[in-house]
Amino acid sequence: MAKRREEYGLTKQLREAIQNSGKSLNQLARECGVGPDRLSRFLRGERDLTVDAADRICRALRLRLISEGQRGGGKN
In a domain, 18, yes or no: yes
pTM of the model as a whole: 0.79
* Domain tally, the chain: 1
Does residue 54 sit in helix, strand or coil? helix
How far is residue 63's CA from residue 61's CA, in Å, rounded to a whole number? 6
Report the mean per-residue pLDDT for the chain: 87
Q: Phi and psi dihedrals of 22, rounded to 5?
A: 80, 0
DSSP label at residue 8: H
**For 22-57, what is each residue's pLDDT tens digit?**
999 999 999 999 999 999 999 999 999 999 999 999
Q: CATH code at 51?
A: 1.10.260.40
In a domain, 74, yes or no: no
CA-CA-CA-CA torsion sign (44, 46, 48, 52): negative
